[in-house]
Structure 1
Amino acid sequence: MSTEQDDFQVFLERHLVLQRTPDYSVDIVVQIGYPKWTKPGIQACCPVAISADIGRVKDIVGIDPIDSMKNALTFVETYLKQKDSQTKVLWPNGESYF
């Protein structure tokens, strides 16, 4: 469970489907919030959540707001790629995400 605030203003949102077996899938929503400075000129953070999966995670950090946003996007892609070999990540229309 994260110690970060669960609610945040969403900047980017993507709807996907995790297909765990041919007969079972779950809709997920990836949400990335607005990046903000935590230590001006030193570090920024960006909130991230993947609903119906890992939920809200600890804010992703970077050296500035752009870097924290880039790192948040990288985190989401890496996390979704690391699903077990039986789980498929799909677009809502059924096409493969990767």
Structure 2
Amino acid sequence: MKTLVLITEHIDSQQAQWQVDKIMAAIAYDLDLSLVFMYEGLTQLENKAYSNLSLYGIEHVFYLKQQEQITQSLVNAQSINLQDLKHLIQQADLVL
């Protein structure tokens, strides 16, 4: 199974919908998906659409550890440091 890492750094309404579309496509193609949210992209985790990611089999949801000021809303996300993020990217077949 191919692995895909989707990184969300910046967000606006068009990018938010595009990110959801990419997630749904990855699910349809049965990719091993990891989501990483950082910087402004962290606000996307407050969206109700992201609260049910585990229902779609997405269990690898991370946020960059340096961004811990918003962690109260990141119920289903795990912190990841920069070194672990680099390792995750190196192990992935695809990174978007």
TM (norm. structure 1) is 0.27
Structure with bigger helix share is 2
The structure whose RCO (Cα within 8 Å, separation 6+) is larger is 2
TM score, norm. by length of structure 2? 0.28
The structure with the largest strand share of the pair is: 1
